[in-house]
Amino acid sequence: MKLKIEIIDGRLSGKTFQIDSFPVCIGSLSNSNLQILFDKYISRAHCTIYNDDNNLYLIDMKSTNGTYVNDHLIQSAVRIKNEDIVKIGNTNFKCLIDQNV
């Protein structure tokens, strides 16, 4: 399974990131798998995407400002589907999932 993250707004709008291995930590720390520095509302270890039984899940890592999937604040791990929109800080990205890999 592969995941392409497409930033859909802000300074990195249009930029894509190809994810081939999981889990993926997203945050502002330098050791994050996907580091986002320009958004001051993103926590050091904001959220994680992991693969379980050929499904992708997103979990908030107790971030200060929360993690949203399709405009809903998540409280626990949530299965993400193709074209779901994730918001962390002021950054929105689309999840494009390729399950045929």
For a pLDDT cut of 90, what percent of the chain falls above it?
A: 90
pLDDT at 101 over 80: no
Q: What is the 3-state secondary structure (H, E, C) of 27-62?
A: ECCCCCCEECCCCCCCCCCCEEEEEECCEEEEEECC
6-25 pLDDT per residue, tens: 999 978 899 999 999 999 99
Instruction: Let me know: does 43 contact 65? Beta carbons within 8 Å.
Output: yes
Cα 63 from Cα 61, distance rounded (Å): 5
68-98 pLDDT per residue, tens: 999 999 999 999 999 999 999 999 999 999 9
Neighbours of 93 (CB within 10 A): 25
Instruction: Let me know: does 4 contact 19? Beta carbons within 8 Å.
Output: yes
Across the chain, mean pLDDT equals 95
